[in-house]
Amino acid sequence: MEGTSMTNQEILKHIDHTQLKAFATWQDIQKLCDEAAQYHTASVCVPPCYIKRIHDAYGGRVNICTVIGFPLGYSVTSAKVEEARAALADGANEIDMVINISDAKNGRFEAILEEIKAVKEAVGDHILKVIIETCYLTEQEKIKLCEVVTASGADYIKTSTGFGTGGATLEDIRLFKAHIGPHVKMKAAGGVKNAEDLKAFLAEGCERIGTSSAVTLLTGGQAGSY
């Protein structure tokens, strides 16, 4: 993707406009959704507790993405599956799940594969993005998780929650590209601080970027925080 030659309007079509703070108010969520509707972002990424309210208030004007097992990833598989089902029933169209990072550190990649498969089965034709939280992983663990996500049938591999010790890096995106299958797309999240970062991640092949800052950055304001 030629991110450096994209217009701001084109860039915004790849943004998951995000508000996931624990203390996000309905006014915060309304602002997010109004901006998403105005600037045609790919989605709004919001806490599960707001899905139904957004769906009822905005209908099809915004594409609703939410998170499960978030942000730490260590809830049991059955809980993640139920979270995903409830989110879809409330009106979400896309699910961003966090893997069990402890399983990755313990080398239990088969367990991670089975969990992603179980969530994907619950999600069905809806988009499933898998957050591997790169800041906690070695290069070999990242490579193995690229293989796991590819084998799972998930739609995206995603770098980060934005709540860990670090966010997306171009180096991780390049590593992903070398090790994911052709059907797996990439999402970068966290660490996107300016318009140049947005363009750079898109130029490296990211299909989505999760950030709260893009609308502000591309419409003349200062960076927000994810």
Active site residues: 96, 158, 187
Locate 16 and state its tokens.
């998951």
Locate 212 and state its tokens.
């709260």
| Pairwise CA distance, residues 80 & 85, whole Å | 9
**153 conformational bin, left if phi > 0, alpha if psi -120 to 50, beta if neither:** left
Q: Which residue has the tokens 């499933």?
A: 128
**Side-chain half-sphere exposure of 170, counting CA atoms within 13 A:** 9
| Pairwise CA distance, residues 206 & 216, whole Å | 20
Q: Which residue has the tokens 């598989």?
A: 77
| Pairwise CA distance, residues 23 & 8, whole Å | 30
Containing 158, the helix (H) or strand (E) segment is: strand 156-158
Locate 39 and state its tokens.
């600037």
